[in-house]
Amino acid sequence: MKVSFHGHAVVKVETNGKTILFDPFINGNALTDLKVDEVKPDVIILTHGHNDHVGDTVELAKKHDALVIGIAELADYFGAQGVRTHGMSIGGAFEFEFGKVKLTPAFHGTGFNAGDGQIIYLGMPAGVLLTIEGKTIYHAGDTAVYSDMKLIAERHPIDLAFLPIGDNFTMGPEDAALAAKFLQAKQVVPIHYNTFPVIKQDPKRFLDLLEEGNGFIMEPGDEIDL
């Protein structure tokens, strides 16, 4: 299984001939190495409904008949736009042909800005546990640190966790380091930083705060085998 990072919160997982794309914010993302006309997802998993996470979902899903997975209200919204969806809720899990998806709590907002001043509510934000080939990847989405991350660790041993460190809208480096301690993931990668001035951070500072020293930085386009 190959896992790659593509700027902001965009993560790609390739396994068993399937491409799974998290939060495909490509157009408008100055940090990504991806181009919309070159990405061919089979599955799109959305953590929440903010524009910088929904991104290019509709275009990609329609072009490639990709299945869009997310919280129920978000799935309903995109389903009404002709996109193939699977809605879920916090705490729920489902076994897909490519692997198992479970949604976890995330403390954040979720409104989609339609561009005319209208904010569309798209359900609760979520983190995502993706289990494939005996490995579990945790994409925390946008969230604050919270103590029940310890419960996630007790129930689901995590091989690789993607945690936001940008501060202002999410955890900052100190809180993200505490989240890493709670989650007990084997490896931790910082995401959701430097895309905008207000979330400017030095990821090396985050790594220095990790107790186990089990974190590493992925630049946009970096890929690992898991």
Q: So where are the chain's domains?
A: 2-217
SS3 call for 64: helix
Say how far apart CA 95 and CA 108 lie, in whole Å. Answer: 26
pLDDT of residue 211: 85
Parallel/antiparallel/unpaired status of strands 85-88 and 93-95: unpaired
| Structure-token pair, residue 126 | 């979520």
Q: What is the predicted pLDDT for the residue at 170? A: 98
pLDDT digits (tens, 9 = 90+) for 1-58: 999 999 999 999 999 899 999 999 999 999 999 999 999 999 999 999 999 999 999 9
In the predicted model, is pLDDT for residue 105 greater than 90? yes
In terms of C-beta density within 10 A (0-12 exposed, 13-18 middle, 19 or more buried), how is residue 17 classed? exposed
pLDDT at site 137 = 98
Q: Is the pLDDT of residue 164 over 90?
A: yes
- Look up residue 170 and give its two tokens: 């999410």
The token pair at 145 is: 């640190």
- 48, 125 in Cβ contact below 8 A? yes
DSSP element (H, E) containing 205: helix 203-209
For residue 138, give every residue at least 6 positions away whose Cβ sits within 8 Å of its Cβ, in sequence order, or none.
104, 127, 128, 129, 130, 152, 156, 158, 160, 161, 162, 183, 185
Mean pLDDT value across residues 153-173:
98
Q: Tell me how long the chain is.
A: 226
CATH class of 2-217: alpha beta
Question: What pLDDT score was predicted for residue 74?
Answer: 96
The neighbouring-strand residues paired with 157 are none
Order of strands across the sheet with 135-139? 93-95, 100-105, 126-132, 135-139, 160-164, 187-191
